[in-house]
Amino acid sequence: MPQSPTVAFIGLGIMGLPMAANLVSAGFTVRGYDRAPQQTDRFAGKGGTAASSLAEAVDGAGVVITMVPDSPDVDEAMFATGGVFDSAASGTLVIDMSTIRPDTARTVAEEGRIRGLRVLDAPVSGGETGAVEGVLSIMVGGDSADFHAAADVFAPLGTAVPVGPAGAGQTVKAANQLIVAGNIQLVAEALVFLEAHGVDTEAGLRVLNGGLAGSTVLTRKGEAMRHRRFEPGFRIGLHDKDMGIVTAAAREAGVPVPTGALVAQFIGALKAQGHGGLDHSALLALLDRIATEQK
Amino acid sequence: MPQSPTVAFIGLGIMGLPMAANLVSAGFTVRGYDRAPQQTDRFAGKGGTAASSLAEAVDGAGVVITMVPDSPDVDEAMFATGGVFDSAASGTLVIDMSTIRPDTARTVAEEGRIRGLRVLDAPVSGGETGAVEGVLSIMVGGDSADFHAAADVFAPLGTAVPVGPAGAGQTVKAANQLIVAGNIQLVAEALVFLEAHGVDTEAGLRVLNGGLAGSTVLTRKGEAMRHRRFEPGFRIGLHDKDMGIVTAAAREAGVPVPTGALVAQFIGALKAQGHGGLDHSALLALLDRIATEQK
């Protein structure tokens, strides 16, 4: 990789803005673009270079990073007229860090390859806090040589791990969302069960977390769940999108994820009922409602 | 508690034998009894005192510990002619460390109280290794004064935490088994999903365990599951019993545990198919079978 290539950063939202800012702090020249002009302006306020269009951001950049909400947004960023594939020079490293469908990631990689681009899918976990602090967990799919070429760009953002060919990063992220949703649901079930039996749930969750039932969900969310504090965190609306990805990708691959499918229905119901803005631990609120007889 | 009371230890199986031996090592006089004479003999070989009947073990003991397979075994040990309630003097501390139904534990506590006994339910987690090393996690239900009176007896066995009134220990243990079964099932679902997509599962599970999807199940069982090593560990047959306990206790308390109920069906199916002797991580084998088309 040439030293400190210019990085085009597309998508300066809750995650993208602090990530792009961390690249600026690490010494990269970063041209940022967001469909919402005020986000591009905020990035300029953090020392970034504001681009007035996606094409302007990408033109001449050695690395293009996209961090947008969903698969259609990635499709648009890549394939639209004036999009990444129109504007990036051959050999450019294109890193999509959005959380999208693995099959979309594979299509983007293949179409990019045809155009002489080097494409990685590199979704992250760790949330806004991880983005701000530069400690994201980055799951990377694509060619090994391209992964190594991207190492300097990943370093200010967090810890990157290569997990397989194109799409593999998105597959691991999908598996992550499956396990997280399920673990939250299980803690919720355990909690209503303990409460119904008059157990001291503070001591109960503590002793559970010390044994084979221990989990990062229990550590990070157990106390907030006990007190029914559901401020996000990670929103039901986004987790609903991700459960759609993992259940569809599992069906298409011929593997069953029955527990994931069950929890996907609960998350979908919460979203459809207007609770998409709550933290995903609000799965407990749905269970509370089933458990408590309405008078 | 009088200093170093004589302890009667009923049930010298995979868990009970090393627990009783640890009490001997800690300086207690321990009279052991098991329905299988060879187990009582093995205990004598470890420095314990062999009793030829349950009544002989209990007679004059200050503390009685029961560690038997299931609710009916506890019922029999407590209520049969020549059982604990027939043989224990008023004021004796009776600690049931078996994993049984919370309602059975409450009945035992109430009936014991009527007879002037002090009863605790104190199921454990940590498995055979935890029993041998004296590092069990002990979830204790019952009166606070009785919990404190039992502290010296618990100390050589592991860490005891009071979690509520009679039955609360069993309730927390039931919740433990619910979460553990669910977490195993979720790791299994994630694993077949990752494999079907050609992901490097060693790197994949590692990166998953570093984020919000992290769990003790992933840490302790992830690698064995990747390699389909299902030697117990904790047997499907016992976990099936425990899933029966938690789903029944949830129904009776009016709370739903839908994910637990789903996984209980899978564990039950494995047991009914003759796989009760495998480790509970063999939930993955069932999923493999669904995922792989039979030719």
Give a yes or no: residue B2 inside a domain.
no
Do B151 and B218 lie in one domain? The reply is: no
Query: Domain tally for chain A?
Result: 2
* B182 vs A: CB within 8 A: yes
Do B104 and B240 lie in one domain? The reply is: no
- Minimal Cβ distance to A287: which of B161, B195, B256: B256
Asked if the Cβ–Cβ distance from A203 to B163 is below 8 Å, we say: yes
| Token couple for B254 | 């009016």
Do B161 and B21 lie in one domain? The reply is: yes
Do A136 and A179 lie in one domain? The reply is: no
Give the list of residues 6+ apart from residue B43 with CB closer than 8 angstroms, or none: B9, B12, B17, B20, B21, B30, B32, B34, B50
| Token couple for B59 | 């007679």
Q: Rounded distance, CA B115 to CA A34, Å?
A: 75
Neighbours of B149 (CB within 10 A): 18
Give a yes or no: residue B1 inside a domain.
no
> Which of A126, A141, A165 delimits the end of a domain?
A165
Where residue B139 falls (left for φ over 0; alpha for ψ -120 to 50; beta otherwise) is beta
Do B160 and B175 lie in one domain? The reply is: no
Do B112 and B185 lie in one domain? The reply is: no
Give a yes or no: residue A2 inside a domain.
no
Give a yes or no: residue B82 inside a domain.
yes
Give the list of residues 6+ apart from residue B162 with CB closer than 8 angstroms, or none: A200, A203, B140, B141, B142, B144, B147
Q: What is the largest CA-CA distance in chain A?
A: 68
Do A150 and A195 lie in one domain? The reply is: no
Do B161 and B269 lie in one domain? The reply is: no
- Minimal Cβ distance to A216: which of B180, B192, B214: B214
pTM (two decimals)? 0.91
pLDDT at A1 over 60: no
Mean pLDDT of chain B: 95
Give a yes or no: residue A1 inside a domain.
no
What's B59's domain CATH number? 3.40.50.720
Closest to A144 (Cα-Cα) out of A159, A125, A166:
A166
Supply the angle between the helices B216-226 and B201-209 in degrees, to the nearest 10: 180
Q: Which of A106, A159, A163 to mutate to test the interface with B (most CBs of B within 10 A)?
A: A163
Do A116 and A183 lie in one domain? The reply is: no
Element (H, E) at B32: strand B30-33
> Which of B165, B189, B217 delimits the end of a domain?
B165
Give a yes or no: residue B216 inside a domain.
yes
Do A161 and A67 lie in one domain? The reply is: yes
Domain span at A149 = 7-165
Q: Rounded distance, CA A6 to CA A23, Å?
A: 10
Closest to A104 (Cα-Cα) out of A71, A138, A70:
A71
* A287 vs B: CB within 8 A: yes
Do A177 and A160 lie in one domain? The reply is: no
Q: What is the pLDDT along chain B (295 residues), one digit of tens a residue?
A: 445 789 999 999 999 999 999 999 999 999 999 999 999 999 999 999 999 999 999 999 999 999 999 999 999 999 999 999 999 999 999 999 999 999 999 999 999 999 999 999 999 998 888 999 999 999 999 999 999 999 999 999 999 999 999 999 999 999 999 999 999 999 999 999 999 999 999 999 999 998 899 999 999 999 999 999 999 989 999 999 999 999 999 999 999 999 999 999 999 999 999 999 999 999 999 999 988 765 4
Do A175 and A146 lie in one domain? The reply is: no
The complex's ipTM works out to 0.91
Neighbours of A256 (CB within 10 A): 16
* B204 vs A: CB within 8 A: yes
